Amino acid sequence: MMKKAIGIQNALERTIAEYTSIQKLLPSAIRKVAKNRDLVLSELEVQRLSAAILNAEGGSGSIQLDLDIPCGLGRTEEELHATVQAFVKDLGGVVRETLEEVTQAISKAVPEAVGAAADVIVDHLLQSVRENAAQLRTAQANRVQSVQRMWGVALDELDFLRHLVLEWGHEAFELRSGPYASPNTAFALSRLLTRTYDVVGEIVVLGRNGYADGALARWRSLHELCVIAMFLAKQSDQCALMYLSHHRVEELKLFDVDRSSGTANVKDIHSDRRIGRLRREKAALVARFGKAFAGDYGWASVELGGARTTFRDLESHVGLHLLRRGYQRANSTVHGGALATLTRVSLSDSTIDGAAVPPAYGCEIAANYAASSLSMLVAELCMETESADLLTMSAVVHKHAMRIRESIADTQKKLAGNTPRSKILTRKAAGSRKRIKVRRTSLKMRDGG
């Protein structure tokens, strides 16, 4: 495709250069000067005068014109000489005018020419695109197979784990045990666990298809959900109420961004009414809970008695700051920084610093983090429960998460050649090479003797 595009560009440049050259412009300019001077020149006279002027520019500077007298330029030699001198004087301005006209014509013609070229080569380009797409699909299928061989078991188990956690959440909501005993907290936790179920499903799908960066980006969302759920479980029921009510602040903020950026250009009376209602509701909530409620994580700020709370504060409060490095790593996959741009390896075979990177590299990272997040979340939500059913299910979740991490660790050892079997084979191979070397040395000594 690139070669075809470059070929078209080169053809256009050659054509433009040809039609804007002095060789092309000069005859046309001579005709215009002749018309302005009410002279009638034959095509032979135009061509010979053009050639004489061009030869003069490249030679001595004198115009050597081979024309029979009388001619269109004069009846005598003196008249011919005077006319040619006048022509040369007028030609400079006329050539510039002609060049501008040609340039404008080309500017209009180029888009049409490109469109016409596209019509001509569209089938060829589409065929090339189809062939390229087929190659990419084949590469993607190979990548999926590679992921399945390496991490398929772990991803399948992670998919099962999210169902276990969701079932645990339903049971906790029904039993109203632990933090679920408070109505607002129970409702908030129920909705948060439903979101975790969906997000883990996205991680599984992205991981199975080899999109390690996308899976890690979705774990970032899972981590935030788990931190918030664990925080709410430790706080008062009013904190959960403030969390749920804070959606008005967040929605109003989106409307304000639309207006400030100019994206909300159409006046919508229903939208205006909704904005007005949101402003009144926000004002009532701020009056009820305090000024801090209006900020980001305002519901947590009010609960903790601070003016401003960040996600990192919540992370530390629930003891998940240990995952801070993983969270920062996930941030780089979401944003447009150079680290993710230069080291993005999940979409194709690639290299980093000259070292080959397997196409399935990294797909286990998000799965590992996700298993840990779900295990820690359920364990935290079980801290205050006395239900044997919930505690038993929590133990099952924890063991299943450990099974996922162990499966990943085993595969990593195999890839690194760090299993007992691979070590034995490595030692055998080293011993075999040593025996061969000794045997060859003995043969050399014997031959030398």
Higher pLDDT, residue 283 or 46:
283
Token couple for 112: 């049409």
What is the C-alpha to C-alpha distance for residues 149 and 434, in angstroms, rounded to an integer? 34
Q: Which residue has the higher pLDDT, 255 or 348?
A: 255
CA distance 380 to 384: 8
What is the per-residue DSSP string for 58-82? HTTS-------SSBTTBSSHHHHHH
Select, from the ranges 59-68, 150-159, 267-276, the one with the highest average predicted confidence (pLDDT): 150-159
**pLDDT for 351:** 45
Q: Which of 335, 363, 90 is nearest to 207 (CA)?
A: 363
For residues 362-391, average pLDDT? 91
Q: Residue 69 to residues 50, 83, 155, 252: CA-CA distances in angstroms?
A: 18, 13, 96, 90
Q: Given a cut of 70, is residue 429 above it in pLDDT?
A: no
Contact 243, 232 (CB under 8 A): yes
Asked whether the predicted pLDDT for residue 297 surpasses 90, the reply is: yes
Residue with tokens 């998000």: 366
What mean pLDDT do residues 249-255 have?
89
- For residue 432, the model assigns a pLDDT of 57
SS3 helix, strand, coil % of the chain, rounded to 5?
Answer: 80, 0, 20
pLDDT at 39: 84
Q: Is residue 313 predicted with pLDDT exceeding 60?
A: yes
- Cα distances (angstroms) measured from residue 337 to each of 177, 197, 350, 351: 44, 29, 19, 19
Q: What is the pLDDT of residue 259?
A: 57
pLDDT at 348: 43
For residue 345, name the pLDDT band (cuts at 50, 70, 90).
Answer: very low
Q: What is the pLDDT of residue 266?
A: 46
16 pLDDT tier (thresholds 50, 70, 90):
confident
22 touches 51 (CB < 8 A): no
Contact by Cβ (8 Å): 379, 398 = yes
Predicted pLDDT at 37: 84
The pLDDT confidence band at residue 57, using thresholds 50, 70 and 90, is low
Burial of 107: CB neighbours in 10 Å, binned 0-12, 13-18, 19+: exposed
pLDDT, tens digit (0-9, with 9 covering 90-100), for 149-159: 889 999 999 99
At 1, the pLDDT band (50, 70, 90 cuts) reads: very low
Q: By the 8 A CB rule, do 346 and 362 touch?
A: yes
Q: 17: which residues sit within 8 A by CB, 6+ positions away?
A: none
Amino acid 131 reads E
CB–CB of 219/263 below 8 Å? no
What pLDDT, in 10s, does the model give residues 161-196?
999 999 999 999 999 988 999 999 999 999 999 999
Strand partners, 356: 351
Domain ranges of the chain: 2-134, 148-415, 419-449
Tokens representing 293 are 């409620």
Query: 357: closest CA among 174, 171, 210, 182?
Result: 210
- According to DSSP, the β-strands at 350-352 and 355-357 are antiparallel
pLDDT above 50: residue 235: yes
Bigger pLDDT: 299 or 415? 299
Instruction: State how far the Cα of 180 lies from the Cα of 229, in Å rounded to an integer.
Output: 11
- Res. 354: pLDDT tops 60: no
Q: Dig out the tokens for 376 from the structure.
A: 């820690």
Alpha carbons 319 and 4: distance in angstroms, whole number: 58
Question: Range with the lowest mean pLDDT among 50-64, 241-255, 289-303, 343-357?
Answer: 343-357
Which residues does 41 contact at the CB level (< 8 Å), separation at least 6?
Answer: 30, 31, 34, 49, 72, 73
Distance (Å, rounded) from C-alpha 307 to C-alpha 291?
A: 8
CB 48 within 8 A of CB 84: no
Tokens encoding 150 = 């390496």
Buried b (16+ CB within 10 A) or exposed e, 154-185: bbebbbebbebbbebbeebeeeebbbbebebb
Mean pLDDT, residues 199-224: 94
Higher pLDDT, 355 or 192: 192
Q: pLDDT > 90: what percent of the chain?
A: 38
In sign, the C-alpha dihedral spanning 69, 75, 76, 77 is negative
Burial 344-360 (b: 16+ CB within 10 A, else e): bbbbeeeeeeeeebbbb
Q: What average pLDDT does this structure show over 395-400?
A: 95
The predicted structure's pLDDT at residue 353: 45
- The pLDDT assigned to 260 comes to 54
CA dist., res. 98 & res. 354, Å (int) = 56
- Phi then psi dihedrals of residue 74, to 5 deg: 165, 160
Q: In the Cβ-directed half-sphere of 161, how many Cα atoms lie within 13 Å?
A: 35
How does residue 239 score in pLDDT terms, banded at 50, 70 and 90? very high
**pLDDT at position 29:** 86
What is the average pLDDT score of the chain? 82
Take residue 159 and report the two structure tokens written for it: 């998919």
Q: Is the pLDDT of residue 446 over 60?
A: no
> Quick count: other Cβ atoms within 10 Å of Cβ 82?
13
CB 437 within 8 A of CB 411: no
> How large is the average pLDDT for residues 14-18?
75
